[in-house]
């Protein structure tokens, strides 16, 4: 509390500190609400689960672990958490940082040591994208570790922006309408993979990481490749967001609001056999309202969520 005798600078600092605390409290509530909502909507975590949180050392996986630990304390169900880091033997990787951090948080953890870095550097020509091979190697190792640890769920730190970028990547370069689901069965059919940050914006994770002062460890493989198509598409959608706020939310909402009759997949909709029924179709034959040229994005569908 400031008094008349306090110097002006002290009063301003006090006011700024209170504003910062207020903003971080709002952010904390939003993050916990969004993660809790994703878990509930997709039944990600069930009573008795052992959740393996894949901790890379980046902001996203740090935030995922941090929020799940908090939710675990007040969840109506019982579940356990084990953090797993894959040490890929990248040159200069500070191997002591994550164990020390996890010990300070009292989190059970496992460090898996596998030299995938050398394999990727050996097999991928200089200048070519490393992510595909690196991801496959990591995925296989993490699935094996999940089985060894008895984990029933594998939690990854992908967020809302990752899911939108993946949709566009598949459209632009794979000619597929395929995104990154919030929950799926693993490639080997043995594990359930979940993405509790599905509703969370990357900008919020960046702010949370700064606030919580996570010990961030940058990746010297994909993190060093600025020419990646994924990096460029992310820059593109963030440019759209600056020009038309709400556009990323609209794209994300659209991924869960699909009208199959207005797409073109004959395997999912019986186009060849449809006939007039004489009944009005609420979807109609409009692809988009004629009086809206799309220059102003529609308001995103907002889920009503109870405050904590």
303 in a domain, yes or no? no
The pTM of the full predicted model, rounded to 2 decimals, is: 0.84
Q: Which CATH number belongs to the domain containing residue 94 in this structure? A: 3.40.50.620
Among 73-77, 141-145, 220-224, the minimum mean pLDDT is found in 220-224
31 in a domain, yes or no? yes
Domain that holds residue 41: 20-160+177-225
- CA-closest candidate to residue 83, choices 64, 56, 110: 110
pLDDT digits (tens, 9 = 90+) for 14-38: 888 888 899 999 999 999 999 999 9
Q: What percent of the chain has pLDDT over 90?
A: 63
278 in a domain, yes or no? no
Q: Mean pLDDT throughout 46-61?
A: 96
240 in a domain, yes or no? no
290 in a domain, yes or no? no
- Residue 303: band (very low, low, confident or very high) from pLDDT cuts 50, 70, 90: very low
190 in a domain, yes or no? yes
Domain count, the chain: 1
115 in a domain, yes or no? yes
Q: DSSP for 6-73, please give it.
A: S-HHHHHHHHHHHHHHHHHHHHHHHHHHHHHHHHHHTT-S-TT-EEEEE--SSHHHHHHHHHHHHHHH
Contact 81/69 with Cβ under 8 angstroms? yes
253 in a domain, yes or no? no
């Amino acid at each position: 509390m400031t008094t008349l005798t306090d110097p002006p600078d002290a009063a301003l600092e006090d006011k700024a500190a209170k504003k910062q605390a207020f903003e971080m409290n709002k952010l904390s509530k939003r993050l916990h609400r969004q993660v809790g909502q994703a878990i509930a909507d997709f039944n990600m975590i069930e009573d008795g689960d052992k959740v393996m949180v894949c901790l890379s050392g980046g902001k996203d996986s740090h935030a995922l672990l941090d929020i799940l630990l908090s939710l675990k304390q007040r969840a109506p169900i019982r579940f356990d958490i084990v953090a797993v880091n894959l040490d890929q033997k990248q040159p200069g990787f500070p191997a002591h940082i994550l164990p020390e951090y996890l010990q300070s948080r009292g989190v059970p953890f496992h460090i898996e040591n596998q030299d995938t870095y050398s394999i990727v550097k050996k097999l991928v020509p200089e200048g070519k994208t490393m992510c595909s091979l690196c991801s496959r190697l990591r995925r296989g190792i993490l699935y094996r570790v999940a089985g060894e640890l008895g984990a029933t769920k594998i939690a990854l730190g992908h967020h809302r922006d990752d899911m939108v970028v993946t949709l566009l990547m598949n459209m632009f370069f794979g000619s597929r309408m395929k995104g990154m689901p919030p929950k799926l069965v693993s490639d080997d059919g043995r594990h359930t993979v979940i993405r509790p940050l599905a509703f969370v914006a990357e900008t919020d994770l960046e702010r949370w990481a700064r606030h919580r002062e996570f010990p961030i460890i940058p990746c010297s493989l994909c993190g060093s490749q600025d020419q990646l198509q994924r990096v460029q598409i992310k820059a593109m959608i963030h440019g759209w967001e600056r020009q038309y706020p709400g556009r990323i939310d609209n794209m994300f909402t659209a991924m869960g609001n699909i009208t199959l009759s207005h797409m073109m997949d004959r395997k999912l909709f019986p186009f060849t056999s449809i006939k007039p029924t004489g009944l009005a179709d609420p979807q109609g034959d409009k692809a988009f309202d004629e009086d809206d040229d799309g220059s102003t994005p529609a308001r995103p569908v907002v889920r009503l969520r109870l405050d904590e």
